[in-house]
Amino acid sequence: MKKKILKNMEWGILICSVLLLIIGMVALFSATQNSDFEEFKKQGIWFLISIPIIIIVMFIDYQTIAKLSPFFYGIFIILLIAVFFTEPINGATSWFDLGIFALQPAEFAKVFVILFVAYIIDILCTKSKEEINRLWKLAIVFFIALIPVLLIAKQPDYGTAIALFVALCFIMFITGIRAKYIIIAILIVAILLPILYFFVLPEHARTRIEIFLNPEKDPRGAGYNIIQSKLAIGAGQLFGMGIFKGNQTQLGFLYPKTTDFIFAVIGEELGFLASSAIIVLYVLLITKAIYVAKTAKDDLGSYIAMGIAGLFFFHMAENIGMTIGLLPITGIPLPFVSYGGSSLLTNFIAIALLLNISGRRQKAIFIE
């Protein structure tokens, strides 16, 4: 049976993610030469840690994993509350400092919230997808999703909160929800956005939006990072300045170059071709994730795969968009490319789930 599962898996998903990791490791190798390659080494260790976890998640039936999701959901809600009692790092209480590494519960929570929401929708809609249109069922799904989104936003980590919200929107898109609810949701968001901007968002968040609209307003302060990022990408031209040769990267003008602005490092040192290759790989990865959602053997698999596609789509669009000045800076990492152990492990768990769902697309594989 395992051979049939392996044969059915959408291996292109894993290939895309590994290629992205390789490009990211090359960029990290160059960006960390002045710090004895510390983050490069740690990223390699996190990848090795990811391998057995990928294998485990691949071969435990995703239906079984989904049944365990309420337990994991509860654990991560507790962790998202507990993290508020830690010391802030860069102004955010998002990490548990465990000495040799830092753990970011919001990263792991994204996948397990998607699993739990998909599981609940599948239970609530046992007869048909149309059942999701009952208001009390929509309210349950909304409440389950809202708790972690608000807790993550409170840290504050608006980027991760929005990423989770987008993933949930992707799931709802294929649930059979009626158009009127989508229109009502859009109207509510349109009304709430200006209220949130003027009365809820803290000063630093509003500043980021204002600087996004006009970076030259504060070129040596809040607008500094985005200006340096665009200079780095522009300097790379077609083939890049070469590894270890990027001016903005190596002279310390680009910050943080291993996480938020890793795409700018790649643009400067590897050039337009490498940057374009990254975008192509993400498009292939997201397209294949959507294909897995379309061909899954049940609705549960479709919901999980679509939520993961939403996660990757937002992270890719937001990170690349902010480095080239098309979107506000939110601190969102570039999946598989940016440095970050929690992020890398979470992304590979998501990849393993996609392989898991794609491997079980044919019911015949369960016949001995």
- Are the C-beta atoms of residues 234 and 249 closer than 8 Å to each other? no
Rounded CA gap, 96 and 88, in Å? 10
pLDDT of residue 272: 95
Which positions ≥6 away from 20 have C-beta within 8 Å?
A: 278, 281, 282, 285, 335, 336, 337
What is the reported pLDDT for 1? Answer: 58
Contact in structure between 12 and 288 (CB atoms under 8 Å) = yes
Q: Torsion over CA of 81, 314, 45 and 239, rounded to 10 degrees?
A: -150
- The 10s digit of each residue's pLDDT in 83-127 is 999 888 777 788 888 777 778 999 999 999 999 999 999 999 887
Cα–Cα distance list, 187 to 166, 197, 327 (Å): 16, 16, 22
pLDDT at 97: 81
Total count of residues recorded for the chain: 368
Range of the domain at 209: 2-366
pLDDT digits (tens, 9 = 90+) for 167-176: 999 999 898 8
d(CA 139, CA 145) in angstroms, rounded, equals 10
- What's the one-letter identity of residue 224? Y
Question: Encoding tokens for residue 24?
Answer: 């990211």
Burial class (CB in 10 A: 0-12, 13-18, 19+), 186: exposed
- Residues 138, 114 contacting (CB under 8 angstroms): no
What's the token pair of residue 18? 């590994």
- What does the pLDDT read at residue 319? 96
For residues 291 and 293, give the distance between their C-alpha atoms in angstroms, rounded to a whole number: 5
Instruction: Dihedral sign for Cα 66, 71, 72, 74, please.
Output: positive
Output the pLDDT for position 49. Answer: 94
Nearest to 356 by CA among 365, 345, 368: 365
- Contact at 8 Å (CB) between 269 and 241? yes
The tens-digit pLDDT sequence of the chain (368 residues) is: 577 888 889 999 999 999 999 999 999 999 999 888 999 999 999 999 999 999 999 999 999 999 999 999 999 999 999 999 988 877 778 888 877 777 899 999 999 999 999 999 999 988 788 888 899 999 999 999 999 999 999 998 989 999 999 999 999 989 888 888 888 888 988 888 888 777 777 777 777 788 777 777 777 777 888 899 999 999 999 999 999 999 999 988 888 899 999 999 999 999 999 999 999 999 999 999 999 999 999 999 999 999 999 999 999 999 999 999 898 888 899 999 999 999 999 999 999 999 999 999 864 333 33
Instruction: Provide the domain count of the chain.
Output: 1
Q: Taking the CA atoms of the chain, what radius of gyration do you get in angstroms?
A: 21
The pLDDT assigned to 228 comes to 93
Contacts of 246 (CB under 8 A, 6+ apart): 30, 232, 235, 236, 240, 254, 265, 268, 269
The CA distances from residue 32 to 39, 154, 268, in Å, are 7, 31, 15
Output the pTM of the full model: 0.93
CA dihedral 153, 261, 263, 254 (to 10 degrees): 170
